[in-house]
Amino acid sequence: MGLAFVAAHPAVTSAIIGPRTMEQLDGLLAGAEVALDDEILDRIDEIVPPGVDVAPLEAAAYVPPSIAQISMRRRPMVERAAA
No. of H helices and E strands in the chain?
Answer: 3, 0
pLDDT at 3 over 50: no
Give the C-alpha separation, 57 to 34, whole Å. 32
Q: Residue 23's pLDDT band (boundaries 50, 70, 90)?
A: very high
- In whole angstroms, what is the distance from residue 55 CA to residue 33 CA? 29
Specify the higher pLDDT residue, 83 or 22: 22
CB atoms closer than 10 angstroms to residue 31: 13
User: pLDDT (tens digit, 9 = 90+) per residue, 52-81?
Assistant: 776 666 656 777 777 777 777 777 888 776
